[in-house]
Chains A and B, each alone.
Chain A
């Protein structure tokens, strides 16, 4: 008799970035993780700047601010704003899904079948729309401020 061994349910570190043939929501999960870790990395730099430089008084603070106002850091700040918008809106979607608010009413199983993923997809699309609007608002402010 052939013994069928179960597949190991763990890809290791590859599972952090590999989603294969899964749908949009699985890729949003990866983006959620990447933006989360990116914001955590930014937090380390941000806390360094706002503690060590701020506590030393006005000249050190002004020097730090003029160093941080070159276009490279401006672009980095904008990426943090984009990551924040995505992580917040996707987090709201995950909380609403987790607590069962996006379930919808139960429907009889008549062909064509409606599954939970497809019924929740419209919320996902609405979320992506709001993220794009937020990113455009942040970009408008960046343009108004100028790249100095």
Chain B
């Protein structure tokens, strides 16, 4: 049981990382009408041209894949904590831990394929 306490430390560290990476993402996508006031012009970040221009740069692919990894670990560990608050049996706990881990790995490989494929678009 003691090794699972490291998951809480991981939750704190990934939380801070998400605040930075998702902060960039939210400011870029949701404050794009305010940013020209500060001299940054993104011209509609959800349009295809703007999106594909970002996708060709390795730094953005790196940011998206890093964001995906920390968000998935934080979110699925949080879901695990919510379920385990019901204090189920040790066997159920192992099943929940294993299935959240498996789900996270599947979603990571599925979704990180796209930024890598779009690098050479």
> Could you tell me if A51 and B113 are in contact, using CB atoms closer than 8 angstroms?
yes
The one of A36, A95, A137 that contacts B34, using a Cβ cutoff of 8 Å = A137
Which of chain B's residues have a CB closer than 8 A to the CB of A43?
71, 75
Distance of A36 Cα from B22 Cα, bound (Å): 14
**Complex interface bits, B91-118 against A, C-beta within 8 A gives 1, otherwise 0:** 0000000000000000100110110011
**A77 & B30 in contact (Cβ 8 Å cutoff):** yes
State how many angstroms separate the Cβ of A67 from the closest Cβ of chain B: 12
Chain A residues in 8 Å Cβ range of B117: 55
User: Does B48 contact A62, Cβ atoms closer than 8 Å?
Assistant: yes
B contact residues around A92 at 8 Å (CB): 19
In the complex, the chain B residue whose C-beta lies closest to that of A51 is B114
A16 interface hit (Cβ, 8 Å): yes
* Residue A132 at the chain B interface, CB threshold 8 Å: no
The interface residues of chain B lying within 8 Å CB-to-CB of A37 are 78-79, 82
A144 and B23 CA atoms in complex are apart in Å by: 20
Contacts of A55 in B (CB 8 A): 114, 117-118
User: Are A141 and B32 in contact, CB atoms less than 8 angstroms apart?
Assistant: yes
Is the CB–CB distance between B12 and A95 below 8 Å?
A: yes
A40 at the interface (CB under 8 A from B): yes
Supposing A40-B79, A51-B114 touch, asked if A95 and B15 sit within 8 A by C-beta, the answer is yes
- Pairwise interchain contact B48-A95, C-beta atoms closer than 8 A: no
- Report which of A15, A47, A91 forms a contact with B111, defined as CB distance below 8 A: A47
CA–CA, A39 and B19, complex, Å: 14
Binding site for B on A (CB under 8 A): 10, 12-13, 15-16, 33, 36-37, 39-40, 43, 47, 50-51, 54-55, 58, 61-62, 65, 77, 81, 84, 88, 91-92, 95, 98, 137-138, 140-141, 144-145
> Which listed residue (A13, A58, A81) contacts B48, Cβ 8 A?
A58
Chain A residues whose C-beta falls within 8 Å of the C-beta of B19 in the assembled complex: 88, 91-92
- B residues 49-80 near A (Cβ < 8 Å) are 51, 71, 75, 78-79
- Residues in A whose Cβ lies below 8 Å from that of B40: none
**Cβ contacts A to B, 18 pairs, < 8 Å:** A16-B82, A40-B78, A43-B71, A47-B107, A50-B111, A51-B114, A55-B118, A88-B22, A88-B23, A91-B19, A92-B19, A95-B15, A95-B16, A98-B12, A137-B34, A138-B30, A141-B31, A141-B34
Give A61 to B79 CA distance when docked, in angstroms: 31
A84 near B75 (CB under 8 angstroms)? Answer: no
Give chain A residues whose Cβ lies under 8 Å from the Cβ of B86. Answer: 10, 12-13
User: Which of B22, B78, B85, B110 is the one whose CB lies under 8 Å from A51?
Assistant: B110
Q: Is the CB of B110 within 8 A of A145?
A: no
